[in-house]
Structures are given as structure tokens and as C-alpha cells.
Amino acid sequence: MGNTHSNENKSLQNSKLAEGGNIAEQNSLGYCYENGIGTTKDEEKAFQWYLNVAEGGNSSGQNNLGNCYFNVIETTKDEEKAFQRYFKSAEGGNSRGQNNLGHCYENEIGTTKDEEKAFQWYLKSAEGGNSNGQNNLGNCYFNGIGTTKDEEKAFQWYLKSAKGGNSNGQNSLGNCYFNGIGTTKDEEKAFQWYLKSAEGGNSNGQNNLGLCYFNGIGTIKDEERAFRWYFK
């Protein structure tokens, strides 16, 4: 009950500040409406607040608006508009926008495929501390996307992503330890990182953790636990 009242009060405070023209609070209010935090979920209101913030030049709001266009949140899917908003967000220095822009260039979303630009934007995002950008940069180094293949650099960026709590990065780091990619092979460490990834809800991590239990990799063989993680 206490948390509910706290969330409601926070949402009310955000609403008053947002209506007063506070850009950061407008963006926060959009997030609250999008995810039903402290208020009833309302994607239409979320979209409108993100639009207001983006038009005010806020890089975080531009990224969120790009997500609306990309994920069809109260608007028609429009990859070109998503790309444009991610581009503005990225140029404004937003690490999430930079990562999303890299994803657009890598996968030809709303723009021409350009792996070198994808790499450059992932690099900016990663250097800005974004764990998704760090994992994606690791993928670039591992697969030679827009840069020279370098397994040691891939490992280093996966490590940063994993330590930042990113479940994809944790799974990628587990793969490195399991296969000896850019580091010494270590099945116990592989198991520990797969476990963290799996507990974070990552389906690849859950599958790999199941494989560890099924085959006794880095842990004691346990087919019942293997089944439970495969099921998840």
C-alpha cells in the first residue's frame, strides 16, 4: 500500500512539473505512462509527452520517440522516422540513441546498411558507458563488423557489458570463457556468467545454463535443473 501511494504521489509531482515545462520531468512522465508506473498505462499520452520532449531538443526524449516509431507504441510503425529520431538523439550525445542508431545502420533500418557507421556509433555508445552498446561493440569485434576481427577486444567489451549488468553481455562473456575466445578457457566462469544472464531473464543464457547442468560443465551434472532452465 505504501509503495502504491508513493508511486501515485511521484506521478502527480512529475505531472505538475511536466506541465510547467520541465523537459526532464516531461520525459519521465512519458516513461510512466508507457510502463504504467504510478499511473494507468496510456501509450497515447506517453507518445505525446515524448513528442513534446523531442521537439524541445531533448536527446533522451528523441530516443524514446524513436522507440515509439520502431516498436509501434501508439503510432504507425515507421522505420525512417525511428532512424531520424535516433540520429538526433545520438548526435545529442545520448548513449542509448547512439546504440540504437548503430543498430539501424547494422540492420538497414530506415537507412542504408553501413557496417562502418554501425561500428562507430556502437563505439560512441560503449565509451559512454552503455551496456547494450558495449555488448554490440563486442559483437563487432568478434564478427569483424565494420572493423578488423579482434577476439581480445571483443572479450574486453563483453566483460564491461557483463559487469554493467547486461544479460546479453553476460551470456556473450560466458561464451568467451566456454570457448576460450579472447581469454583462457574456464568452464566454471562460463557457468557463473550464464547463471547471471539466465537469472536476468535472458533466454540464450537460460538455454546455455541448461546445457551446463545437462553436461556437467562448470558445475555438477543435474538433469532436473537442466530441464527447468530449458523450460524457461
Q: Are 82 and 101 in contact (CB under 8 A)?
A: no
pTM for the model: 0.87
The residue count of the chain comes to 232
pLDDT average, residue stretch 210-223: 97
Q: Are 102 and 133 in contact (CB under 8 A)?
A: yes
User: Residue 33's closest CA among 71, 63, 7, 59?
Assistant: 7
Q: Are 171 and 159 in contact (CB under 8 A)?
A: no
The CATH number for 19-128, chosen from 1.10.10.10, 1.25.40.10, 1.10.260.40, 1.10.260.30, is: 1.25.40.10
**CB-count exposure of residue 181 (10 Å: 0-12, 13-18, 19+):** middle
Percent of the chain residues topping a pLDDT of 70: 91
Amino acid at 25: E
Query: Which residues, in sequence order, are CB contacts of 135 under 8 Å at separation 6+?
Result: 157, 158, 161, 166, 168, 169, 172
Taking all residues of the chain, what is their mean pLDDT, rounded to a whole number?
92
Query: Which DSSP category does 202 fall into?
Result: -
Q: What tens digit of pLDDT does each residue of 64-93 get? A: 999 999 999 988 999 999 999 999 999 999
Residue 85: CB atoms within 10 Å: 29
Dist CA 223 CA 41 (whole Å):
41
Return the domain boundaries, the chain.
Answer: 19-128
Residue 143: CB atoms within 10 Å: 12
Q: Is the pLDDT of residue 19 over 70?
A: no
Q: Is the pLDDT of residue 18 over 90?
A: no
